[in-house]
Amino acid sequence: MAKLLQPPPKFLLSEWHIANKNQYHRADAQRSRSERLVAESQRLVDEIEKTTRKSQSDVNKKLGRSALALTWCMTQWSMS
């Protein structure tokens, strides 16, 4: 035999307003947490990019010095 549908629960208007306000505040708090998470993530991305650029610059300088030293050694060796 088919089940009969149950009527939806009845709320008083004041109960509905309270539930609606609670849901609104939960959603607003979640939005706020999400915005903070996005801001913190962007800050970390910026920090990592800055660190990466500095490391890359340092490595490029060291490579340049090594290349110059190697070139100098090669010229000294070929002159001998």
> Is the pLDDT assigned to residue 2 strictly greater than 70?
no
- For position 70, what pLDDT does the model report? 86
Q: What is the average pLDDT across 63-69?
A: 90
Calpha distance 11→50 (Å, rounded): 56
The beta-carbon contacts of 70-73 under 8 Å, at least 24 apart in sequence, are none
Q: What is the CA radius of gyration of the chain?
A: 33
Q: What is the average pLDDT across 31-46?
A: 99
Tell me the average pLDDT of the chain.
Answer: 92
Distance from CA of residue 62 to its chain's centroid?
31
Q: Full-prediction pTM beyond 0.75? A: no
Q: What is the average pLDDT across 20-40?
A: 99
> Is the pLDDT assigned to residue 63 strictly greater than 90?
yes
- For position 1, what pLDDT does the model report? 58
Domain ranges (residues) in the chain: 29-79
Sign of torsion over alpha carbons 41, 43, 49, 51? negative
